[in-house]
Structure 1
Amino acid sequence: MKVILLCGGLGTRLREETEYRPKPMVPIGGQPILWHIMKTYAHHGFTEFVLCLGYKGELIKDYFRNYLWNRSDVTLKLGRSRQIIYHNSHEEEDWTVTLLETGLNTMTGGRLLRAMQHIGDEDVLLTYGDGLTDADIGASVRFHEENKALVTITAVQPAGRFGELGIDGVTVRSIEEKPKTKFINGGYMVVDRRVRQLLDGDDCVLEREPLQQLARDGMINAYCHHGFWQCMDTFREFEMLNKMWDAGTAPWKVW
């Protein structure tokens, strides 16, 4: 099963970083957040990736084109018979990465449609290029296959930003620091190939009519994940994730 990653958005809420690079290339511990997401999928056995590029997609292309060069010790033989010798191996050697130009202004549904047309008639895994989790991807696929919905969404409960007061009249009876919110779409999805029939071009926003229609029809299931999940929408979240990685406490590092 191939993994489609939506990597083409502008990332305007993280302008401090995305002015210079696409959001999936914003680094955590020296590697792009995109690499962390792909490492999670690879840990669960999914190593075929289709990256839907848009904004500054050339930087993502450059990263993977030079991947071995940047991660290896290298010997260069100069002259007429030039040769490059790489001295290192790396865990990502079994990855297959397709870099697909899907347009600067294409919406999420349009990007998915272009990708599904490119990879053929099969179910896919789908996620965005800005969220990290320790969810069991393989378990979500098995759940999807057993329950036979058209889309399975990994549902998560992020911590709220503010404390919650339990108020009885005007009296505060309880204070809960950063309580869990309701379940939200964690962005890690299993998508049946038939969903492509609901995608009607580059202006299609996946999260609007296609998913809303499927929800009304009872064709979306939630795989509830109670562990770690965190998106990187703001500079504060960027700093938080880097601090976790640097301290050796990154919950998403399951590999």
Structure 2
Amino acid sequence: MKVVILAGGYGTRLSEHTSVVPKPLVEIGGRPILWHIMKLYSYHGLNDFVICCGYKGILIKEYFLNYCNHGSDFTIDLERNQIETYRRPAEPWKVTLVDTGEATMTGGRLKRVREHLGDSTFCLTYGDGVGDVNIRELIRFHHEQSALATVTAVQQPGRFGAINLSNDRPRASHFREKDARDGQMINGGFFVVEPQALDTIDDDASVWEQAPLARLIDQDQLAVYRHHGYWQNMDTLRDKAILQDLWDRGNPPWCVWNQAPASAQLATTA
């Protein structure tokens, strides 16, 4: 199963960092937040990524082009212009990097990478949020619901798309962008999507969280997976400070790959 990561936005609320690098490359614990997100999916057995680049996307491409070299030791013979490399184990990732346009909206970015997704179910998330979401359980839930898309709802007051849930059915009844009311379950990303859901996207100006999701709700095709564990986005300097502080304390809650052997997790969730 492929994992699409939206990584093309401007990140204006983190301009102290994003004037230099795109938000997905802003570091927590010496690693880009993008790396943390990919490690979560990899821990659950998903290693095929499609990254939607936009603003400063060339830097994301360069990060992966140099990934193996940065993780290796080597000897340079300057006189002979030779390099002897001592490889360290690399992540088992296949990464497709697509320039989806600097000004393209989230739905437009998704539509632009459709040719890389085939006809199978895929995961979708943002390049600025982490959590201890059980991705395998999320995928299983999505298939049980037989919906065209599933969104992960998290408990967080604030500035994101608020989801109204029906009490007796795992379906969204309404989706509002940037609802400010405290106590709402909000869009935490971590979607599971069927290829047919992309038919709800019109063009580059389409915002995934607006018309496409509204159309899926109208068709009763947006399921909601409620995540009651840890979740945190990195939208502002305060958000970054929260994540860095948790990292500095040791055992940050989203780093599930450090909390138990991956093989044990795969065995219990298969």
Per the normalisation by structure 2, the TM-score is 0.83
Residues 1:120 and 2:122 aligned together: no
Q: What whole-Å deviation, never above 9, does each CA across 1:125-148 have from its counterpart, x for those lacking one?
A: 000000000010011001111110
Aligned to 2:135: 137
Preserved CA contact (<8 Å) 2:200 2:216: no
Question: 2:44 — aligned with what?
Answer: 44
Question: For 1:73 and 1:22, how far apart are their aligned partners in 2?
Answer: 27
Greater alpha carbon shift after TM alignment, 221-230 vs 117-126: 117-126
Q: Which amino acid aligns with 1:21?
A: V
Note the alpha carbon deviations across 1:97-116, whole angstroms, 9 max, x for none.
01101001111111001112
What does residue 184 of structure 2 align with? 182
1:69 maps to 69
Higher mean displacement: 31-40 or 63-72: 63-72
How far the C-alpha of 1:32 sits from its partner, in A, is: 0.4
1:114 & 1:79 partners in 2: Cα distance?
47
* Secondary structure of the structure 2 residue equivalent to 1:205: coil
Aligned AA (1:71): G
Which residue pairs with 2:263 in the alignment? none
Aligned residues: 235
Q: Counterpart in 2 of 1:99?
A: 97
Unaligned runs of 5+ in 1: 162-179
What SS class does the counterpart of residue 60 from structure 1 fall into? helix
Does 2:216 correspond to 1:192?
Answer: no
Tell me which stretches of 4 or more aligned residues in structure 1 moved more than 4 Å.
77-80
SS in 1 for 2:192: strand
Write the distance in 1 (CA, Å) between the matches of 2:199 and 2:158. 36
Quote the Cα distance in structure 2 between the aligned partners of 1:62 and 1:183: 37
Is the Cα–Cα contact under 8 Å of residues 68 and 90 in structure 2 kept in the other structure?
Answer: no
How many Å apart are 1:90 and its aligned residue? 2.7
The within-5 A match list for 1:216-235 is 216-235=218-237
Higher deviation after alignment, 71-80 or 183-192: 71-80
**Helix, strand or coil: the match of 1:127?**
strand
- CA shift, 1:160, in A, is 6.8
Tell me how far 1:76 sits from its aligned partner.
2.9
Deviation at 1:204, TM superposition (A): 1.2
CA distance in 2 between partners of 1:193 and 1:53 (Å): 20
Match of 1:29 in 2: 29
State the distance in 1 between where 2:153 and 2:183 align.
11
Q: Tell me, in whole angstroms, the C-alpha distance in 2 between the residues paired with 1:159 and 1:206.
A: 21
Q: In 2, distance between residues paired with 1:115 and 1:125? A: 13
For the pair 1:13 / 2:18, whether they are aligned, the reply is: no
2:248 pairs with 1:246 = yes
User: Which range moves more in the overlay, 83-92 or 114-123?
Assistant: 83-92
**2:247 and 2:256 mapped to 1: Cα distance?**
12
Compare CA radii of gyration and give the structure with the larger one. 1
Unaligned runs of 5+ in 2: 160-181, 258-270
Q: Which residue of structure 1 aligns with residue 88 of structure 2?
A: 89
**Separation of aligned partners in 1, 2:111 and 2:157:** 33
Change (3 A) 1:218 1:58: same
